[in-house]
Amino acid sequence: MKINPSNFMLAVGQSKQLSAEVNLQDGQINSNVSWASSDNTIASIDSNGKSNSFKRR
């Protein structure tokens, strides 16, 4: 699995678009992933990979 960008920081109120690719055993690439945040009070991510920062951790 490859996530782009692989490393980033957001200030409160900023957002960032993420993308992901999964390399399958048959050589094909699957970009159909499910995004989730472990704490939606700090940051959220929508079904298209757009992350939003709400407060500092």
pLDDT score at 30: 87
Spatial contact of 13 and 53, defined as CB atoms under 8 Å apart: yes
Paired residues of 55 in beta bridges: none
- Domain segments of the chain as ranges: 2-53
Token output for 33: 């992933």
Say what the pLDDT of residue 57 is: 73
Which of 38, 27, 34 is CA-nearest to residue 48? 34
pLDDT tens profile 3-54: 999 999 999 999 999 999 999 989 898 888 999 999 999 999 999 999 999 9
Q: Positive or negative CA dihedral for 56, 36, 48, 40?
A: negative
Looking at the chain, the number of H-run helices and the number of E-run strands are 0, 6
